Amino acid sequence: MQPHKLVWFRNDLRTGDNHALYHACQNSAEHGVIAVAAITPTQWQMQDEAKCRVQFWLANLEKLKQDLAALNIPLRIIHAETNQELPEQLLNLAQQFNVRSLYFNCEYPEYEQKRDQQVEHLFRQQGIRCHTYDSDVVLPPGSVLNQQGFAYKVFTPFGKAWRQLYLQQPSTPLPSPAALPKRQDDVVIKSASYTENGSENYCDKVPVDIGYKNQMGANWNSAFWPAGADDAHRLLQQFVHERSHNYKQLRDFPAKPGTSSLSPYLSVGVLSTRQCIAAMQAYSEDPDWFYSQWVTELIWRDFYRHLLVAFPGMNRWQPFKPEIEAKISWQYDEKRFRAWCDGETGFDIVDAGMKQLHETGWMHNRVRMISASFLTKLLRQDWRLGARFFMQHLIDGDFASNLGGWQWSASVGADAAPYFRIFSPMRQTDRFDPKAEYISRWLPQSQDGPLFAQNSGRPAPVIDYSLERNRSIDEYKNSSG
């Protein structure tokens, strides 16, 4: 068997701007290149992956397989039932194909880092070299530091330093590698069977077929988020061309298509952040595009990844500010939590958001903030409950961004909302959904009635807003000093 290089795909399901793939394909005259991805139901279960996210990931994997085939790179899909099996299975594959080096892009949560260290250790023991890359971020964790050489804990100076560094050395996306020559001794790679009766149309059966038990929440909507890089780039260009100039004005209005809705593609790595920035550079009509609000949001994505690496306690669900959380007594009230989960709190904007989440697997950012603030500050439930629930339902579920968003909302995170910022659902509705367009889209019952429950067949409010607001402020006030 001729020697091979092996590329391991995870949440980087793209051929363009994929550092691991690109470098594996350089100088490969002597080597063939093969690719692998692993179906890991136990890991998905443990990490609360939403059903729609798994479906979306698998559908994109299928597209990636086609894109790789066009480059003469076969993709092998392996099925690792337990996490312990994964390194051994990868090694078996490597030995079967005489693999001399392994290439992959880093993932930053601690669990993934440990998994990768295990794999690297095992491979190195066998004399197989490992090459890793920071393809999931624009600037690698540890590269954006303050003057004392420490990681930033606050976003604004991080963003400023990030932009300065980027301008010194713009990080442009890598192209897809050129197709490799088709080899005479072509390897025939047979993937593990994970489809019922060998059917290729597995997306709607995925959770059953692969033994994945999370049956909650929405199915992936392939009309709204079609799988594959071609469609992802089409949607990216469309957003940049047609809507990015209005982003700052419209992004807080959940009834309007003001944001890009590209987060599912970024989450499974069909798009990279660099490709989004490059699209702005190429297609935006705004001469100041680099300082635009949309680029700022993309920098937030990097920020949360940098934090996760610099402050590993976050991986274990520790708050960034434990001194604040120590004095808060979360209520752990099942009735309140259930009402929030089911979108039955009687506060329309909150319930509409939860209905959007249940039906589509996605929620508008403004409503994520309102909903998270409501659960933590008004229902006074532990932010971890909400964060887990979001991960179990979001198609764009992302450990770092979700953790960051929840800690921010509960005022226990880096650069958190000040404790007295408690979103009033009524005031937020007045400001961002004044004609109740968003609310009536997701709560048709409230279409004809006023915004509040009593008159409209909606549940009665689960709490007394003013009472809980005052309690919460008192508690946070004591905890901060």
What residues act catalytically? 297, 300, 330, 365, 383, 406
Stretch that binds ligand FAD, among 118-126, 321-329, 405-413, 420-428 (CB under 6 A): 405-413
34 is in an annotated binding site: no
Question: Of the candidates 17, 67, 398, 468, which one interacts with ligand FAD according to CB under 6 A?
Answer: 398
Scan for tokens 């295990």, then name that residue.
118
Q: CB of 169: closest distance to ligand FAD in angstroms?
A: 22
304 is in an annotated binding site: yes
Q: CB of 86: closest distance to ligand FAD in angstroms?
A: 24
134, 38 in Cβ contact below 8 A?
no
Structure tokens at 76: 């092998």
Which residues is 79 bridged to in the sheet? 39
Residue 381 near ligand FAD by CB under 6 A: no
Residue number of the CB atom closest to ligand FAD: 405
Q: What is the 3-state secondary structure (H, E, C) of 137-163?
A: CCCCCCCCECCCCCECCCHHHHHHHHH
Residue 409 near ligand FAD by CB under 6 A: yes
Question: CA-to-CA distance for 345 and 468, rounded, in angstroms?
Answer: 14
Question: Of the candidates 376, 401, 429, 446, which one interacts with ligand FAD according to CB under 6 A?
Answer: 401
Question: Of the candidates 58, 80, 298, 349, which one interacts with ligand FAD according to CB under 6 A?
Answer: 298
Residue 272 near ligand FAD by CB under 6 A: no
Q: Give the β-pairing of 32-39 and 75-79.
A: parallel
Structure tokens at 345: 């709190």
Residue 410 near ligand FAD by CB under 6 A: no
| Angle of CA points 211, 213, 215, to nearest 5° | 130
472 is in an annotated binding site: no
User: Which positions from 221 to 260 touch ligand FAD by CB under 6 A, shown as an x/- string?
Assistant: ------------------------------x-------xx
Residue 351 near ligand FAD by CB under 6 A: no
Question: Of the candidates 304, 337, 419, 432, which one interacts with ligand FAD according to CB under 6 A?
Answer: 304
351 is in an annotated binding site: no
Q: How many residues bind ligand FAD (CB under 6 A)?
A: 28
Question: Of the candidates 394, 410, 414, 422, which one interacts with ligand FAD according to CB under 6 A?
Answer: 394
438 is in an annotated binding site: no
22 is in an annotated binding site: no
Report the 10 Å Cβ neighbour count for 357: 26
Residue 397 near ligand FAD by CB under 6 A: yes
Burial class (CB in 10 A: 0-12, 13-18, 19+), 163: middle
Stretch that binds ligand FAD, among 70-78, 186-194, 284-292, 401-409 (CB under 6 A): 401-409
Question: Of the candidates 171, 402, 411, 428, which one interacts with ligand FAD according to CB under 6 A?
Answer: 402
Question: CA-to-CA distance for 279 and 158, rounded, in angstroms?
Answer: 23
The residue type at 241: H
User: Which positions from 32 to 71 touch ligand FAD by CB under 6 A, shown as an x/- string?
Assistant: ----------------------------------------
Q: CB within 8 A of 239, min separation 6: which ones? A: 260, 261, 262
Question: Of the candidates 104, 406, 419, 432, which one interacts with ligand FAD according to CB under 6 A?
Answer: 406
Which of residues 97 and 155 has its CB atom nearest to ligand FAD in the complex? Answer: 155
Which of residues 206 and 268 has its CB atom nearest to ligand FAD in the complex? Answer: 268
273 is in an annotated binding site: no
Q: Contact positions toward ligand FAD, by CB under 6 A?
A: 251, 259-263, 266-267, 297-298, 300-301, 304, 365, 368-369, 372, 390, 394, 396-398, 401-402, 404-406, 409
Binding residues for FAD: 247, 259-263, 294, 297-304, 396-398
Binding residues: 247, 259-263, 294, 297-304, 396-398
